[in-house]
Amino acid sequence: MNFIETRGNDGSKPVSVSFSQAILSPMSSFGGIYAPEQIPRLADDFLAEQLQKDYKSLARAVLAAFQVDLPEALVESALVTYDGFDDPTNPVPVVPVAERLHVSELYHGPTRAFKDMALQPFGVILSGLAQARNEHYLIMAATSGDTGPAALDTFRNKPNIKVACLYPDGGTSDVQRLQMVTENADNLKVIGIHGNFDDAQAALKRLLGSDVFRATLVEKHTQLSAANSVNFGRIIFQLVYHIHSYLELVRKGHISLGEKVNLVVPSGNFGNALGGYYAWQMGLPVEKIVIASNANNVLTDLINTGAYDLRQRQLIGTSSPAMDILKSSNVERVLFHLFGAERTRELMRQLDEEQHYQLTADEQKAMQSLFCADFCTDEEGKAYIKDYFEQGYLMDPHTATCMKAHARCCNQALHAIVYSTAEWTKFSPTIANALTGETDAHDIDALKTIARLAHTPIPARINELFDKPIVQQTLVDKEDIEREVLAFL
């Protein structure tokens, strides 16, 4: 299967590319990204056959459906990374938490966040392709807290790969920051910036699209790629767990095969929701995808009003920082599939140049046939954390945003799957405050409080962070990012 450009072709790039080409060079004409030329449909008996198979088999089948041009041995090596999860036989447990409400726990990988689900296999694939081509790659990543640690972990000491990871100083949890700044592999560079995630992502996209920067890298015998979800190599692995979660409900007798469910997704850059959209379009029985936002509720406005408007908005720092995003890159792929490349280019140009766009009435109707949306304040989120903890379930602030969206947007007669994107350990001060009212707790103190209340140990990989030396100490203005990256190379 070929991949084509979301904003059309400018004549300087191929009209279509293979999967491997799309993940090695993820930026396309006019500042766009790549999307599949067509979304494959699963065979009528696909879900029934997968009921008896494991997660790796499902992932193989999804990759085969997209006809990826990857050697079989490389795919197998990539899937072996799931052996490093808490339960290699079931890397994504699906846990019932209320009547017809289930949580798909995506955080049982090495960095305790859902980005491991895609980045662990993706790192093996990208490094393998680079070695096969005898090429060297700089992988750029911008993070609001979870992509960074997961990218650094998967690419640590990988041959032919160097990683430059950008994060907003003060815009992540302490644990997330420690996961990055304690990394000491020679091929990893962590750069804190004075600014927010949108500044980091804008810098990433500018460098990915800069002919001058790319030419400078070529002089250093280096190619350029990205680990953010602008890269379809991330998305293809994210859609797997949506199908898996549905199959888990069937296996456990909660639903019958073919019964529709709602998918409730905490959304920042929209990659997680996009994975659900692709799974639905491939044949997964879905009623609606429910988009949960925090106070940065630009996606709520888009879906409810058709307006994507940043003119009067400032990014708000919240207790769910991985969702503190105003420009959600993966909305572009949905616009492309619904409205085509020409309209997508027009809308994205308006957003880039004028800071807003407005869908037509018909376009808004098309979006609302797929998605519904609501947002949750920090205080509301803490109330959900406390309420569900008293019912026996411990969740992080991002998962908590989904509970309001589920209550407000879902047909309660249908089963719903909430996607939990991070373990409680990543955001312990917020959770400790929700449970006990304590404030100004250091992460380690909050971790101990929650561990005591929940009668659960602090995972060793989190606990040991507080004793590791700080290795990555670079902190720059966003204008100096390019200089720091080139100095690293």
What pLDDT is attached to residue 366? 98
Q: Which domain holds residue 354?
A: 81-113+233-467
Residue 260 forms part of a structural domain? yes
Residue 280 forms part of a structural domain? yes
Residue 195 forms part of a structural domain? no
Q: How far, in Å, are 372, 382, 389 from residue 99 at the CA level?
A: 21, 21, 16
| Residue 414 belongs to domain with CATH number | 3.40.50.1100
How many whole angstroms separate alpha carbon 424 and alpha carbon 378?
Answer: 16
Within 13 Å of residue 18, how many CA atoms lie on the same side as its CB? 8
pLDDT per residue as tens, the chain (489 positions): 999 999 999 999 999 999 999 999 999 999 999 999 999 999 999 999 999 999 999 999 999 999 999 999 999 999 999 999 999 999 999 999 999 999 999 999 999 999 999 999 999 999 999 999 999 999 999 988 889 999 999 999 999 999 999 999 988 888 999 999 999 999 999 999 999 888 888 888 889 888 899 999 999 999 999 888 899 999 999 999 999 999 999 999 999 999 999 999 999 889 999 999 999 999 999 999 999 999 999 999 999 999 999 999 999 989 998 898 999 999 999 999 999 999 999 999 999 999 999 999 999 999 999 999 999 999 999 999 999 999 999 999 999 999 999 999 999 999 999 999 999 999 999 999 999 999 877 889 999 999 999 999 999 999 999 999 999 999 999 899 999 999 999
Q: Kindly report the pTM of this predicted structure.
A: 0.95
Residue 146 forms part of a structural domain? no
- Radius of gyration in angstroms for the set of CA atoms belonging to the chain, rounded to a whole number: 21
What pLDDT is attached to residue 87? 96
Residue 72 forms part of a structural domain? no
What pLDDT is attached to residue 284? 98
What pLDDT is attached to residue 291? 98
| Cross-strand bridge partners of residue 105 | 420
What pLDDT is attached to residue 208? 85
Q: Which two tokens stand for residue 194?
A: 């004075």
Compute φ and ψ for 357, nearest 5 degrees. Answer: -150, 160
How many whole angstroms separate alpha carbon 203 and alpha carbon 167?
Answer: 11
What pLDDT is attached to residue 198? 85
Judged by DSSP in three states, 410 sits in coil
Domain tally for the chain? 1
| Residue given tokens 């880039």 in the structure block | 352
Q: How far, in Å, are 100, 230, 386 from residue 409 at the CA level?
A: 14, 28, 21
| Cross-strand bridge partners of residue 34 | 5
Residue 175 forms part of a structural domain? no
What pLDDT is attached to residue 209? 84
What pLDDT is attached to residue 146? 87
